[in-house]
Amino acid sequence: YLAFNLGGLEFIISILLQYRFARVEQPSQFGGDPCDYTDNESEDCVINRPCSKARCEGFLCATGRCINRRLLCNGDDDCGDQSDEADCKKVYQRCNQVLEQFWGIQMLSSGVVFLMHIYSVFKGYNFRDVQACTQNGVKVGVTIKEVSVSVGITAGGCNAILKEIGDTTSEKKFVEDFIALIRGGASEHITALANKDLPNAELMQEWGDAVQYNPEIIRMKVEPLYNLITANTFANAATLKQNMKLALEEFHQETSNCGCTQCQGNGTPFLKGTRCECICPLGHEGTACERTQRTNVPIDGNWSCWSSWTPSSGRQKSRSRQCNNPPPQNGGSPCPGPSQETT
């Protein structure tokens, strides 16, 4: 970087790189030569413009760096000068503790409270029998018979214990209480909440802070990364979000097998780098699954690539695709999904 002052204005000459990329329009197939040259180029670019300071939407470090406020008081030097860790009432460091993996640990964050120690003998076997069966039987199910002989309990007894521990919907001989309202969090906070009739605000806050280190996924929903970009976390959020949307569309185009020529006999085309190959069903072989002794095989339909988006009209745009790669033949199934998309 070269900086200079001219006429009261500060200028900066930034010598950076600009890039361009090529996308495979037609992958090689059936033994053709793949695209073996580079798919990107770069060259120097020179920008002459007055310096402008971008407004920090997060936390402004003493060094002038702008970081997300979520990075404050996390134990890491994100600013480079520790200014993001100064004046912290509490530091939320990631958990580095190695947890003890006792039997039934997978049930702990679901709210199960184990009180095994209060049962000395129950239903013909005791706590040591349960430990021996679970510590060995859960790891290697085929050794249950060997384990039962070594601890002096029958194989049927071990099987009963393992079945009982694995069943979380019925009443247990070894579980005094079942609490399904506490989901996720650290074990010490779960235990404290489970043993208090009316937990106080401080305990609830500590449990809530610990959920991020040991969460329980109740419902999973896949969303694109650009949904994380907001005006509160990034400057020029609208531009960044639009660029990430375009990048996602280009990624789908580059990795889709819609540009592959159809495989015969219901073979499945897949893109491997810049080359298309066919996965042949049973009874078919060959580069294009063309060799078979079967006749009149039903051919399922497959989509061609999506068209480009139409220009926006009424704040909407659309695109379409055709079921012709190949079309359904001999009673084969039609292409699944819509032929048009509007957004």
Query: 40-51: per-residue pLDDT in tens?
Result: 788 877 767 665
Q: Give mean pLDDT, residues 228-238.
A: 77
Q: Give mean pLDDT, residues 93-105.
A: 56
CATH architecture of structural domain 57-96: Irregular (4.10)
Specify the DSSP class assigned to residue 38. -
Query: 145-188: per-residue pLDDT in tens?
Result: 444 444 455 566 666 665 655 543 444 444 433 333 445 556 66
Q: Is the pLDDT score of 77 beyond 60?
A: yes
Specify the DSSP class assigned to residue 330. T
CA distance 201 to 41: 58
The closest alpha carbon to 278, from 323, 326, 331, 324, belongs to 326
CA distance 260 to 275: 9
pLDDT value of residue 172: 43
pLDDT value of residue 320: 92
Instruction: Mark 93-102 as b/e (b = at least 16 C-beta within 10 Å).
Output: eeeeeeeeee
* 266 token code pair: 């219901």
Residue 161, H or E segment:
helix 155-166
CA distance 25 to 258: 11
CA distance 66 to 83: 11
0.75 exceeded by the pTM? Answer: no
Enumerate the domain spans of the chain: 57-96
Mean predicted lDDT score pLDDT of the chain: 70
Peptide linkage before 326 cis (omega within 30 of 0): yes
